[in-house]
Chain A
Amino acid sequence: MRYALTRLGGMVLVLLIVAFCTFVVFYLVPSDPALLACGKPCTPENLALAREFMGFDEPWWQQFLTFLGGIFTGRTFGTGATAIHCAAPCFGYSFRQNTDVLELIGDRLPVTFSLAIGAAVLWVVAGVAIGVLAALRKDTWFDRVALAGSVIGVSAPVYLVGLLGILVLGFQLDVVPVGNYTAFADDPVRWAWGLVLPWCVLAFAHGAHYVKLTRSQMLETMSEDFIRTARAKGVPERTVVGKHALRNVLLPVVTLTGIEFGSLLGGAVITERVFSLPGLGGLLIEAVHNRDLPTLLGCTLFSGFLVVVANAVVDLSYGVLDPRARLT
């Protein structure tokens, strides 16, 4: 219980620091987010009105406290019939998109989740399988091809691989659709078909790490005493690999998967851009371009939250995978 509370406190502290840093960084940069709503021509009177309405006329520290307060009590911008209400928990309101930031994140999250889950399944399954096979067939042609492929996967930019994939598979061979996202609820088959290429591209880039990691861990584990003992006792090779060796290999794989999956849920910025997917990564980029501080802050906090949660889940999963790591 104490561990859980300490862990939770740590998570909240990390998120507070992330929010604070984002605020400070944004205010250190000489910019005025109210310019967005000032209009053209932007007169000093209009700019002052826009600042007042958006709440940017207060000192930055007061804005930060108001933001934190809004999470618990909600916020109201302006007065009268045109007042904008952002109900608690209010993580800000995007004047650019005329939407509560939480709602914006909720709209975009299914896209990013669809992208991340499919890609993660692909890269973990393929990456671990190829890594294990490469380790078991060390120094064969398969091993060399797997290693070479993983080097390309690690070094080739996702942007390049994505565009090449679109060019060859989308336009030249015309085997995959390009540029359209279909929601799972609308048509699951089109959803999956439309995501095949982004999944493969992302899995190629991320899976390369898993091939290298699994291969090296597997080689190390297979030379351990307990593997030799298992073989000496006549345990079938399939059981030795599948039950004894792989379980040890999975610990670092789970760690990496958790953290990478958490980060990816925060937005696969480049992949989403290349494949025109309306996910969180795109939202973040638009927020940066448009001086949309509330969205920027909301997205950053949400990404931070996902990474923090992913770390906690990874820590908890250690206990399941490795009895030595369980809390007594």
Chain B
Amino acid sequence: MSSKKLLAVVLVGALGAAACGANDQKPSGDAAAKPDKGGTLRVLSESRTLNFDPAKSQSLAITTLGLVHRRLTGWQNAVGQPAKVVPDLGDTGKTTDGGRTWTFVLQDGLKFSDGTPITSADVKWGVERSFAPAFGGGLGYHKDLLGGADYKGPFEGKELDSIETPDPKTITFKLTRPYGDWPWIASTPAFAPVPKGKGAEPDYQEHAIASGPYQIQTYTKGVEVKLSRNPNWDGSKDQVRAGLPDEVVFQLGQDASVVSQRLAADSGDDQFAFGASFASPAQLAQLQANASAKSRVVTSKSGAVAYVALNTQKAPLNDVKVRQAFQYAVNRSAYQIASAGTAALAGDAATTLITQGIEGREQFDLYPSKPEGDPDKAKALLAEAGFPNGLENLSLVLNKSNNQTEKAEAIQAALARANIKVTLRTLEADAFETETNLSENPTYDLTLSSWQPDFPSANANIQPLFATSEIGKGGYNISRYSNPEVDKLIEEAQSTVDPAEAGKKWAAIDKRILQDSPVVPLIYTRNSFIHGSKVGNFFIADFPAYPNYLQVGISK
């Protein structure tokens, strides 16, 4: 082994040990697969569609869309550190009036793949374009803040007055209220530039003009998308993308179990590939038997918080004491087994709403108990609430497409220990969403869900799940929790510009909400991915629980 390789092994080993502790998780690719520049990286995707239209995309800043499009700001995520907002096309923004007005300055000399300069007007056009009804479906946290309730996009000849571009390098956003997380919002897909006047066609996603390291070379619907180098991308002006491979090929519609077998076999082009979907517990069990494949499984340190949502507007769960009983009645250990076979693969037991890897998160446990729970304590709380014989006929509604049956059965069995009798009701995905997210008067008592923030801020953890405005009508407040005090605290924290100060406020809100017990946090769900032996720098940072596509390369 060469000294360089030895050093790399030591460094990677130390990094892994520091990041993963007792769980023996492997956060990055091994040194043998240290990536070089060049080659063709392959991504095996279950999905038959890939959306490269920024307005329609909900892609995280570090995955697929980021290969083709840059955004106003970007994410720096690394193992062992909370994710940070960093400059991408522009700087990370400045505000002089307490978060109501934000100004960003673009770097010099930025170009689209067609050679035309990227200006602030193109960023503005991209944001305005996301308001057009023809380009719906993407992340839209900016829409309400930019006051665009009646705005239907730039193609009708109107501009959004809240965005100003005094010169080609400067863009100013005037928000409807102070918002400290605006630099994070500027990292969402709609803040990718679209050349002014372009992108009216519905299939823009198939030939979108690139600003990132790659451009779309071919887009074969349902089969394959081939990305080739963007000749006008300058790596020295991009701190979030390594742009290592010469080509990236997405193979679409791949069966997950076959992908797992292919990557385990590690032959031919599959050595240069990784699977875009999580490896399932069954696949992970198979991979454990194959030493080579096992060494190429990368498991996140943390992930989305899985929780039982308690319908706070329906008796008897409208009583806080009853809801608190559920915190002790659940068996997190059984839930871990049902999720992934082992606690190490499933993820740590969760006691907070803010997920790990988010700045300002505080670890606490308002309802301390063993991982198996404390049914006696739950019974005592129920008795105090006037239910000495427990609870009967509660309905736990499930989303069929999330394969939650085993997990729900584990919850059902755990609750039964505290004399809480639950009936499972499984619904198709759309019926489930209609019941939980749209219905005015849903009939469920409990449901299972999980949440990973769309951007690395506690705001994105808390507000969508617990603000009164997010109940029904498509919102994600499925515990239907409404507390004016919490709403006010959320508004205050959202308007705080200083991240450290905001972090403290969010941590306090986390505790305040859990005092009311609208949900029972279960685990921070780990995700596992497998890659070929020639894929390097394949790591999953503390947030999000996905590999950073922008840093992956291949070794020759």
Tell me if A174 and B267 are in contact (CB < 8 A).
yes
A82 in contact with B253 given A31-B430, A39-B139, A41-B470 (CB within 8 Å):
no
Interface string of A148-166 (1 = CB under 8 A from B): 0000000000000001001
Q: Is B341 an interface residue (CB 8 A)?
A: no
B435 touches A166 (CB 8 A): no
Known pairs A35-B433, A50-B133; A278 contacts B255 (CB<8 A): no
B115 within 8 A of A: no
Residues B136 and A278 in contact, CB atoms below 8 Å apart = no
| Interface of chain A residues 75 through 124 with chain B (CB within 8 A) | 77-78, 80-84, 96-99, 104, 107-108
Instruction: Name which residue of chain B comes closest to A171, CB basis.
Output: B265
B139 touching A81 by the CB < 8 A rule?
Answer: no
Q: Provide the residues of chain B in CB contact with A278, threshold 8 Å.
A: 48, 222-223, 252-253
Which A residues, 29 to 68, have Cβ-Cβ distances below 8 Å to chain B?
Answer: 29-32, 35-47, 49-50, 52-53
Partner of A276, one of B135, B149, B155, B253: B253
Interface stretch of the complex, out of A4-12, A250-258, A283-291, A300-308: A283-291
How far, in angstroms, from A30 to B156 measured CA to CA in the complex?
34
Q: Give bound CA distance, A278 to B220, whole Å.
A: 10
Q: How far is the CA of A182 from the CA of B554 in the complex (A)?
A: 25
Interface residue A19 (Cβ < 8 Å from any Cβ of B): no
Contact A289 B255 (CB under 8 A): no
Whether the pair B134, A43 counts as a contact (CB closer than 8 A) is no
Bound together, the chains give a CA A286 to CA B221 distance in angstroms of 13
Q: Is the CB of A41 within 8 A of B474?
A: yes
Q: Are A167 and B133 in contact (CB under 8 A)?
A: no
> Contact: B475 with A41, CB < 8 Å?
yes
Please report the C-alpha to C-alpha distance between residue A171 and residue B293 in the assembled complex, in whole angstroms: 14
> Are B134 and A53 in contact, with the CB atoms below 8 A?
yes
Query: Which A260-292 residues have a C-beta within 8 angstroms of B?
Result: 273-278, 282-283, 286, 289, 291
Q: Judge whether B141 is part of the interface by a CB distance below 8 angstroms.
A: yes
Q: Flag if A53 contacts B49 (CB, 8 Å).
A: no
In contact, B401 and A289 (Cβ under 8 angstroms): yes
- B255 near A274 (CB under 8 angstroms)? yes
A163 nearest in chain B by CB position? B257
A75 to chain B, nearest CB (A): 13
- Residue ID in chain A nearest B267 by CB atoms: A174
Contact indicator A29/B58 (Cβ below 8 Å): no
B289 CB within 8 Å of chain A: no
Is A179 part of the contact surface with B, judged by Cβ < 8 Å?
yes
A82 touches B139 (CB 8 A): no
What is the distance, in angstroms, from A78's C-beta to the closest C-beta of chain B? 5
Q: Which of B44, B137, B428, B476 contacts A37 (CB 8 A)?
A: B137
Residues in A neighbouring B202, C-beta threshold 8 A: 82, 84, 98
Kindly state the separation between the CA atoms of A137 and B172 in the bound complex, as whole angstroms: 86
A99 to B470, CA, bound (A): 32
List residues of chain B with CB within 8 A of the CB of A42.
437, 473-475
Which one of B49, B258, B430 contacts A274 once the chains associate, using CB atoms below 8 Å? B258
Residue on A nearest B454 in the bound complex, by CB? A40
CA distance A289 to B258 in the complex (A): 20
Bound-state CA distance A286–B252 (Å) is 12
Complex Cα distance, B286 from A163, in Å, reads: 14
Size category of the binding interface on chain A: 35 or more
User: In the complex, how many angstroms separate the beta carbon of A58 from the nearest chain B beta carbon?
Assistant: 16
Q: Does A178 interact with chain B (Cβ within 8 Å)?
A: yes
Q: How far is the CA of A66 from the CA of B143 in the complex (A)?
A: 32
**B102 CB, min distance to chain A CBs, angstroms:** 20
Asked if B136 contacts A38 (CB within 8 A), the reply is yes
Interface residue ranges of B490-524 to A (CB < 8 Å): none
Contact B149 A45 (CB under 8 A): yes
Complex CA gap A50/B135 in Å reads: 9
Taken residue by residue from 130 to 160, chain A's Cβ proximity to chain B (1 for < 8 Å, 0 otherwise) reads as 0000000000000000000000000000000
Q: Does B200 contact A (CB under 8 A)?
A: yes
Report the minimum CB–CB distance from B452 to chain A (whole Å): 12
- Is B58 touching A163 in the complex (CB atoms < 8 A)? no
Q: Which residues of A contact B221 (CB under 8 A)?
A: 97, 99, 104, 107
Say yes or no: A46 contacts B140, CB within 8 Å.
yes
Counting chain B CB atoms within 10 Å of each CB, the highest count among A30, A36, A166 belongs to A30
The answer to whether B136 touches A39, judged by C-beta atoms less than 8 angstroms apart, is yes
Out of B132, B134, B438, which one reaches A32, CB within 8 Å?
A: B438
A72 to B426, CA, bound (A): 41
CB pair A29–B222 under 8 Å, yes or no, is no
Which one, A82, A108, A167, contacts B155 given CB within 8 A?
A82
> B122-160: which have CB < 8 Å to A?
132-141, 143-144, 149, 152-153, 155-156
Also in contact, A36 and B200, with CB within 8 A (given A108-B222, A274-B258, A289-B401): no
Interchain residue pairs with CB less than 8 A apart (30): A30-B431, A30-B434, A31-B428, A31-B430, A31-B433, A31-B434, A38-B137, A39-B136, A39-B138, A39-B140, A40-B58, A42-B473, A43-B143, A46-B140, A50-B136, A52-B133, A80-B155, A82-B153, A97-B221, A99-B203, A107-B221, A107-B222, A167-B261, A174-B267, A274-B255, A276-B254, A276-B258, A278-B223, A282-B253, A289-B429
Q: B residues near A, CB below 8 A?
A: 44, 48-49, 58, 132-141, 143-144, 149, 152-153, 155-156, 200, 202-203, 205-206, 221-223, 251-255, 257-259, 261-262, 265, 267, 401, 428-431, 433-435, 437-438, 454, 464, 470, 473-476
Q: What residues of chain A have their CB less than 8 Å away from a CB belonging to chain B?
A: 29-32, 35-47, 49-50, 52-53, 77-78, 80-84, 96-99, 104, 107-108, 163, 166-167, 170-171, 174, 178-181, 273-278, 282-283, 286, 289, 291
Q: Closest 4 CB pairs between A and B? A: A42-B474, A31-B430, A37-B136, A82-B134
